[in-house]
């Protein structure tokens, strides 16, 4: 493996720099809200977030998941996790929650922002049951008002929510509007709200175009490791001019790469689909394990946790509440069952021309992981897609076993290389 030697790669582009800038401004806004009382904070969860409503009231969206992942990326999560375990949380509880609660119970100062206390704890319960507990626990430890926005799970084989499901979510969104009106002391400006939803529509469309670009060979960017760079603006700044500009810039940059025939690695040798959240505390180490093999993720389910735009969904400013309800109910991976997730992955494998599926199973997030052995069974046995199942964690650095992961990944790509070789020979009419 001579080519594998050039493993350490720098993955910075224009899009990454702009992301740092606008997310820096977002975190400054959180700090201003926390330290100067400039703006009321609304805590929300990433999955199917209704950020448009929060922006319409000029409230400050805060995502405890982003707090947790930033703590992990900055490698400061473990003391918070341990603090939570000392006060009664289990080793087996989701470490996202533990890191965030550990931080929340202190002075809420982090290396990236000071996190404001919430005026509203808006538990948009989209798929993940731990969300309910996470926000209950935050609510028990502060004076913020809690509202459980219950989003029925997609449970019809058609993958479409019922009329009653949509009505139920719309009615609750109307109640959330009333709560925000009471907390801010102002009425919802519907014209402004519709403009925000229209901006979200445009942003989602750009994101969906960006995601289609990885169908190109080589793929212009890594749909896992680089997608996560785009996900933060998608959730925090969707519905704002800043957010829209970011996605315009990102699309232009990626289209240019397609024209130039360049990608994130010197040479693309394998294309894979990846399922599951990343190991935030060791993101670059993990990425390098694939880069050394010239392996690029061309699609990822994780990049659809906050919304699934690439299969045709677009926010509609003429039906703002209904389309937010549709986004929450139908158009994100977390509210879909395994059958629908399998179908999504199958589509990625076929339409994005992938050689393999990598399942990254994380202990913390059982929504994603519980039962992924069945997924491996389905993809290897029913569809003959080479599949690798590896385990670590999204937040807790104690569950990342570098040597073991490296061995598994190396063995997998070695066998994939062999498989490719024999297939190429067969296609060329040679002897296998």
Partner 1 sequence: MTLEDIVSRYRDPLESDPLELMREWKKSHPDTKLIGCYPVYTPVEFIHAAGMLPVGVIGGGNRLEIAHADSRFQSFVCSIVKSTLELGLTGKLDFLDGIIFHSICDPARNLGSVFTRNFPRLLVEYIHFPQNMTSPHTVNYLTAEYRRLITGYEQLAGRTITDDAIRRSLRIYNEQRRLLRELYAIRAQTPQNVSAVESYVVSRLATLLPPEEHIAMLKDALATVRARDEKPKDRIKVVLEGSFCEQPPLELIEGLEAAGCYLLDDDFLTGWRFFVEDIPVEGDPVHNLAEAYLRRSVYSGVKHDTRERKAKHLIDRIKETGAAAALILSAKFCEPALFDYALYKPALEKEGIPHLFLEFEEKMWIFDKARSEVETFVESMLFD
Least distance to partner 1, CB of residue 131, Å: 9
Dist. CA 432–CA 425, nearest whole Å: 6
Q: Tell whether residue 400 is a contact of partner 1 (CB under 8 A).
A: no
Q: Does 104 bind partner 1 (CB under 8 A)?
A: no
Contact region with partner 1 (CB under 8 A), list: 14-22, 108-116, 311-319, 370-378: 370-378
Q: Examine residue 181 and tell whether it contacts partner 1 (CB under 8 A).
A: no
Q: Which of 391, 405, 409, 413 binds partner 1 (CB under 8 A)?
A: 391
| DSSP output for 234-282 | HHHSTTSHHHHHHHHHHHHHHHHHHHHT--SSSS--EEEEEES---GGG
Selected from 253, 322, 337, 410, the binder of partner 1 by CB under 8 A is 337
3-class secondary structure, 428: coil
Q: What's the min distance (Å) between Cβ of 148 and partner 1?
A: 5
Query: Residues with Cβ < 8 Å from 167, sequence gap 6 or more?
Result: none
Provide, rounded to whole angstroms, the least separation between the CB of residue 416 and partner 1. Answer: 21
Q: Is residue 43 classed exposed, middle or buried when 0-12, 13-18 and 19+ CB atoms within 10 A define those classes?
A: buried
Q: 221 phi and psi, to 5 degrees?
A: -155, 170
84 binds partner 1 (CB under 8 A): yes
Interacting residues with partner 1 between 191 and 250 (CB under 8 A): none
Helix segments in 105-162, DSSP class H: 130-140
Pick the binder of partner 1 from 114, 168, 242, 398 (CB under 8 A): 168
Nearest distance, CB of residue 147 and partner 1, angstroms: 8
Residue 32 or residue 347: which is nearer to partner 1 going by CB?
347
132 contacts partner 1 (rule: CB under 8 A)? yes
- Is the preceding peptide bond at 218 cis, omega within 30 degrees of 0? yes
65 forms part of the interface with partner 1 (CB under 8 A): no
* Selection from 293, 326, 294 nearest residue 309 by Cα: 326
Among 34, 53, 363, 395, binds partner 1 (CB under 8 A): 363
With respect to partner 1, which residue has the nearer C-beta, 39 or 278? 278
Taking CB under 8 A as the binding criterion, the range among 34-42, 75-83, 87-95, 307-315 that sits at the site for partner 1 is 87-95
d(CA 339, CA 345): 10
DSSP single-letter state for residue 382? I
Instruction: For the CB of residue 94, give the shortest distance to partner 1 in the complex, in Å.
Output: 7
Contact map string, positions 136 to 155, toward partner 1, x by CB under 8 A: xx-xx-----xxxxx-xx-x
Residue (50 or 264) nearer to partner 1, CB: 50
Show the tokens assigned to 76.
């400061």
187: part of which helix (H) or strand (E)?
A: none
The stretch among 2-10, 40-48, 165-173, 207-215 that binds partner 1 (CB under 8 A) is: 165-173
Q: Which of 20, 75, 171, 186 is in the footprint of partner 1 by CB under 8 A?
A: 171
State the minimum distance, in angstroms, from the CB of residue 133 to partner 1.
4
Residues 6+ apart with CB under 8 A from 201: 314, 315, 316, 317
Size of the site for partner 1 (CB under 8 A): 53
Residues near 385 by beta carbon (within 8 Å), at least 6 away in sequence:
349, 354, 356, 357, 379
From 176, 239, 257, 294, select the one nearest 26 (Cα to Cα): 239
The kind and range of the H/E element at 91 are none
Residues that bind partner 1 (CB under 8 A): 84, 87-90, 92-94, 97, 125, 127-130, 132-133, 136-137, 139-140, 146-150, 152-153, 155, 162, 164-165, 167-168, 171-172, 175, 337-339, 342, 361, 363, 366-367, 369-374, 377-378, 391
């Amino acid at each position: 493996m001579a080519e594998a030697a050039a493993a350490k790669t720098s993955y910075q582009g224009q899009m990454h720099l702009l992301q740092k800038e606008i997310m820096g401004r977002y975190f400054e806004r959180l700090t201003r809200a926390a330290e100067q009382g400039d703006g009321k904070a609304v805590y929300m969860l990433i999955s199917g977030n209704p950020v448009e409503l929060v922006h319409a009231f000029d409230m400050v969206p805060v995502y405890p998941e982003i707090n947790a992942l930033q703590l992990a990326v900055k490698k400061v999560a473990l003391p918070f996790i341990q603090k939570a375990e000392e006060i009664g949380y289990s080793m087996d509880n989701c470490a996202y929650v533990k890191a965030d609660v550990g931080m929340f119970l202190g002075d809420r100062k982090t290396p990236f922002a000071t996190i404001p206390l919430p005026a509203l704890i808006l538990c948009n319960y989209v798929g993940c049951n731990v969300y309910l507990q996470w926000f209950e626990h935050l609510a028990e430890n502060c004076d913020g008002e809690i509202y459980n926005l219950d989003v029925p799970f997609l449970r019809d084989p058609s993958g479409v929510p019922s009329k009653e499901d949509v009505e139920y979510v719309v009615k609750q969104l109307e109640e959330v509007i009333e709560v925000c009106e009471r907390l801010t002391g102002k009425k919802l400006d519907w014209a402004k709200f519709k403009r925000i939803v229209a901006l979200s529509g445009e942003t989602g469309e750009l994101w969906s175009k960006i995601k289609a670009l990885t169908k190109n060979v080589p793929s212009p960017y890594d749909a896992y490791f680089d997608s996560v760079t785009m996900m933060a603006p998608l959730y925090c700044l969707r519905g704002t001019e800043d957010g829209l500009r970011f996605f315009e810039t990102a699309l232009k940059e990626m289209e240019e790469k397609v024209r130039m025939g360049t990608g994130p690695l010197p040479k693309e040798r394998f294309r894979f689909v990846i399922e599951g959240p990343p190991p935030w505390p060791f993101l670059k180490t993990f990425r390098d394990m694939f880069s050394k093999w010239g392996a690029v993720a061309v699609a990822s389910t994780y990049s659809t946790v906050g919304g699934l735009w690439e299969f045709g969904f677009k926010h509609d400013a003429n039906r703002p509440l209904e389309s937010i309800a549709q986004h929450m109910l139908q158009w994100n991976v977390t509210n879909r069952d395994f059958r629908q997730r399998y179908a999504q992955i199958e589509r990625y494998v076929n339409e994005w021309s992938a050689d393999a599926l990598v399942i990254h199973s994380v202990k913390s997030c059982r929504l994603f992981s519980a039962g992924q052995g069945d997924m491996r069974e389905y993809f290897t046995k029913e569809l003959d897609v080479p599949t690798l199942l590896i385990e670590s964690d999204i937040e807790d650095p104690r569950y990342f076993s570098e040597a073991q992961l490296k061995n598994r990944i190396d063995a997998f790509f070695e066998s994939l290389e062999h498989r490719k070789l024999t297939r190429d020979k067969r296609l060329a009419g040679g002897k296998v």
